[in-house]
Amino acid sequence: MEGNGLDFGVWFWVVGCVGAVGLAVFGVLYDCWVAVLERQGHDRGYMAFVVALGSLVTLCVGGVVLGALAGPLVGLVAWGVMVCCFVASGIPMIIGSVRRHVRARDAGERAWRELPEWVTEWLRRGDDDQGAGGEDEMEAGVESGG
């Protein structure tokens, strides 16, 4: 690069390393956030969006690195091509993920509705009643056909 006192080889490694280290730090922090989402169950049905958000951050940093190395115009064009490629591959993934989640949710709701009433009542009571006679009551429900 002219005017900054660094030859292109040094500039390439400095910008490339700063971008890579920044993305590595982002990756560690993002992984911690995703772990919290998974523990709390907030990722169910939304993992494709979590992946897309991480990819978007990577694309943005990549665009800055490309702009710094190849110049703003070439970097912007290259970044636009990368974004188009990620959108082309990501949209079907997101649609498929949402569709699978909705089908699984609907199947679970349908299965819950098809359970006999005594089973749903027994499950709704939870662990409190199961230890003290819950199994006997369940067996009685089976015997009575309820």
pLDDT of residue 1: 45
What is the pLDDT averaged over residues 26-53?
A: 89
Residues sharing a CB contact under 8 Å with residue 142, sequence separation 6 or more, in sequence order: none
Report pLDDT digits (tens) over 49-105.
989 999 999 998 888 888 888 888 887 888 888 889 889 988 998 898 889 888 988
Cβ–Cβ under 8 Å, residues 61 and 23? yes
Short-list 13, 30, 117, CA closest to 65: 13
Any idea where the domains of the chain sit in the sequence?
Answer: 8-82
pLDDT of residue 128: 55
Short-list 43, 36, 76, 72, CA closest to 59: 76
**Residue linked to tokens 């500039």:** 11
